[in-house]
A and B are shown apart, each in its own frame.
Chain A
Amino acid sequence: QKEVEQDPGPLSVPEGAIVSLNCTYSNSAFQYFMWYRQYSRKGPELLMYTYSSGNKEDGRFTAQVDKSSKYISLFIRDSQPSDSATYLCAMSSGGSNYKLTFGKGTLLTVNP
C-alpha cells in the first residue's frame, strides 16, 4: 500500500462549482497535513496547513482531516478558472525534520 494515495484525475468542473479533492494515507504517525497548488512547471504553493484532526477554513478553501479514517480533503467553493492547477496533498509526522510525503496530485480544470 502506498504511503499517500491521491486520485490523479483529471477533474473538470464548471466555474462556480464546489470541488472536493481527497487523499488517503497509511502511516498513522502523520500529524501535519498540507495542501499545495502547483501550476505547470512551477513550484508548489502552500494553500492550507492543518495539525491533527479537524477543519480549517481560509476564504473559499476548507481543509478537513479525519485521522481515524486516515483521510484528508480540500474543498474549494465558488471555483474559478484561476483555480485550474494540480493540487498536491502532503503530510509529515513532524519530529526534528518535518520532511513531507506527497501525493501524486490531482489535476483540476475549472471551465468558464
Chain B
Amino acid sequence: EPEVTQTPSHQVTQMGQEVILRCVPISNHLYFYWYRQILGQKVEFLVSFYNNEISEKSEIFDDQFSVERPDGSNFTLKIRSTKLEDSAMYFCASRRGGGANEQYFGPGTRLTVT
C-alpha cells in the first residue's frame, strides 16, 4: 500500500542552523501539506502546496520557513535559522484531490533544536 515517507526520522541541530526536512508523498497525489506537533500539543497546520506553489499558509509559517518540490517525487520543508521553539514533530501529508479528500500522513521527523 502506498505511503508517505519522511527523512530523517530525527534531526538534532543547533539554534541558528538551517535544516531541511524531506518527504516523499504518495505518487499520484497532487496536494501536499506540512503540519507540526509540539510535544503534548495539537497537530497544527503549517502550509499547503499545489501545482508548485503555496496555496495557503498559517501564521506560524513565517519568513524562516520555505517549501519546495524540487523534482517529481520530493517535497521539502526548510527552516532557515532554527529557534528553540521550532523543536517539534513535523509531519508531511498528501491528498490525491479530484474528490478524494483524505489526507495521509507520514511518520514524521522529530526536530530537536539545542
Contacts and interface: CB of A to CB of B under 8 A. Distances in A.
A80 interface: no
A36 B105 contact: yes
Contact of A102 (B33, B43, B107): B43
- The bracket for how many chain A residues form the interface is 20 to 34
Nearest to A96: B55
Main secondary structure of the interface of B (DSSP, over half): strand
B101 A44 contact: no
Given A41-B110, A88-B43, A98 B31 contact: yes
Contacts of B91: 43-44
Interface residues of B, number: 27
Contacts of B89: 41
Given A43-B91, A43-B107, A100 B101 contact: no
B49 to A, nearest CB: 10
B41 A104 contact: yes
B48 interface: yes
A36 B55 CA distance: 24
Nearest to B4: A43
A103 B105 contact: no
Contacts of A45: 105
Instruction: List the 8 shortest-distance A-B pairs measured between CB atoms, nearest first.
Output: A43-B105, A102-B43, A43-B107, A97-B56, A97-B48, A99-B45, A44-B105, A43-B108
Interface of A: 32, 34, 36, 41-46, 49, 51, 88, 90, 92, 94, 96-105
